[in-house]
Amino acid sequence: MSDLLDVVRGLSKKTESKIVLVVLDGVGGLPLEQGGETELGSAKTPNLDKLAADSQMGLVELVGAGITPGSGPGHLSLFGYDPLKYVVGRGALSAVGIGVKLNSGDVAVRGNFATLGAGRVIDDRRAGRPSDEKNAEIVAKLKAAIPEIDGIPVEIYTESEHRFVVVFRAKAGEPLGANIGDVDPQVTGVQPMSAVAHDPASEKTADLINKFVERAEVALKDEPQVNGVLFRGYSDVPHFPSFEDVYKLDAACIASYPMYKGLASLVGMNVLNVEGHEDALEGKVQTLKDNWDKYDFFFFHVKKTDSTGEDGNFAEKVHKVEIFDELLPQILALNPDVLAIVGDHSTPSKLQSHSWHPVPFLIHNGHGRYDPAQRFTEAEGLKGTLGLRKGTDVMPLLMANALKLNKYGA
């Protein structure tokens, strides 16, 4: 059976209509108590409510029933790339997002700075979310301590807050494998795991990872909070079909966080410069306005609805939803032909992690049927005419509503 991307490639056509895809990262949630409201249900969102009442609503599963998606697979699914077929590690996404060029045979790794207590037990997987300035200070320490391992050049980069990127540069003719188990157990109260190769080609890389972890802990032993490193998301150089080739779209990415810029860049979107801190959505809205006439597709990313959920801060996640709601009229004032709002996964504050729960999905334009949903919430999405959809259904639906798809078959 043909890849859906191949089918859409054959149907897509260039038109003047404009699409805005807003991804509220990790926006899906759970009530803190049985019978209560989720974060979306608790938020005061008059603009989203008005929009939902005049839109098509549904729910989206990004990978499959019961499968908890990472941010990379979640976004790939929303862009129409089957995340079970197009697999990429977080390391490559982060590296490309901060402008690092990867060569064939290199391996990029996503790292977390962590707080280790007695006996190397993980007290905090995010080391208290240090500032970017503190991150850069720690990275400088590691660069001085670990310029290479066993003759393999090691490059270390600041990403944001507790996140950093390591690139192991392969020697000519000696590619490094990336099929390795995580060091990050993704829970506290246990020790970091050892990196284990899952194939012979990755044994050298696993050894490099374990030696890096050991040397990093020595270099950071005097740090009171940022004194350990956790790794996951190993990746070599990924390749994707071109977003422009598939959809005939001039696409732009409006995001601040490196990983999402990296993912957009890998599929061929033009990554726009955004002024201000990640938490300041005004800069993103201004970038959208400034570039409105130059593109016909915009991927608009909102991060803090995810990180507040990871921190277990229900009230603050509600607040981040309300901040977006206040800015929504400025996006609507641009009068996009199709506006979609969706999450890339759920991050319930109750669980303090990503989860498998479907996320609400909204399409606003003039080609929908009557829809009884009245709010942008999980419960209302269940009532909507879009039903429960796969993540890979999102782009074809946006293209169809923008009248950018020809008829299939005779």
Q: Answer yes or no: do 114 and 229 share one domain.
A: yes
Which of 197, 216, 235 is the last residue before a domain boundary?
Answer: 235
Q: Answer yes or no: do 287 and 320 share one domain.
A: yes
409, part of any domain: no
Q: Answer yes or no: do 280 and 378 share one domain.
A: yes
Average pLDDT on 164-172 reads 93
Cβ burial, residue 151 (10 Å; 0-12/13-18/19+): exposed
- The SS3 assignment for 75 reads helix
Among 105, 127, 132, 362, which Cα is nearest to 237's? 105
Contact 347, 353 (CB under 8 A): yes
Q: Answer yes or no: do 231 and 253 share one domain.
A: no
407, part of any domain: no
Q: Which domain holds residue 136?
A: 94-235
315, part of any domain: yes
410, part of any domain: no
Confidence at residue 279, expressed as pLDDT on a 0 to 100 scale: 63
Which of 210, 235, 260 is the last residue before a domain boundary?
Answer: 235
- CATH for 57: 3.40.720.10
Beta pairing, strands 228-235 & 107-116: antiparallel
Q: Answer yes or no: do 81 and 107 share one domain.
A: no
Beta pairing, strands 56-61 & 387-390: parallel
Contact 83, 154 (CB under 8 A): no
Average confidence score pLDDT of the chain: 94
Q: State yes or no: pLDDT of 2 exceeds 70.
A: no
Tell me the two tokens of residue 76.
Answer: 């790939």
pTM over 0.75: yes
Q: Answer yes or no: do 193 and 98 share one domain.
A: yes
Q: Answer yes or no: do 138 and 164 share one domain.
A: yes
Q: Answer yes or no: do 131 and 27 share one domain.
A: no
DSSP state at residue 53? H
- pLDDT tens for each residue of 218-248: 999 999 999 999 998 898 877 889 999 999 9
- pLDDT tens for each residue of 114-158: 999 999 999 999 999 999 899 999 999 999 999 999 999 999 999
- Give the up-direction half-sphere exposure of residue 279: CA atoms within 13 A in the CB hemisphere: 8
Among 310, 294, 290, 305, which Cα is nearest to 341's? 305
Confidence at residue 116, expressed as pLDDT on a 0 to 100 scale: 96
Of residues 279 and 77, more confidently modeled: 77
Could you give the CA distance from residue 256 to residue 14 in angstroms, rounded to a whole number?
28
How many domains does the chain contain in total?
Answer: 2
Q: Answer yes or no: do 47 and 106 share one domain.
A: no
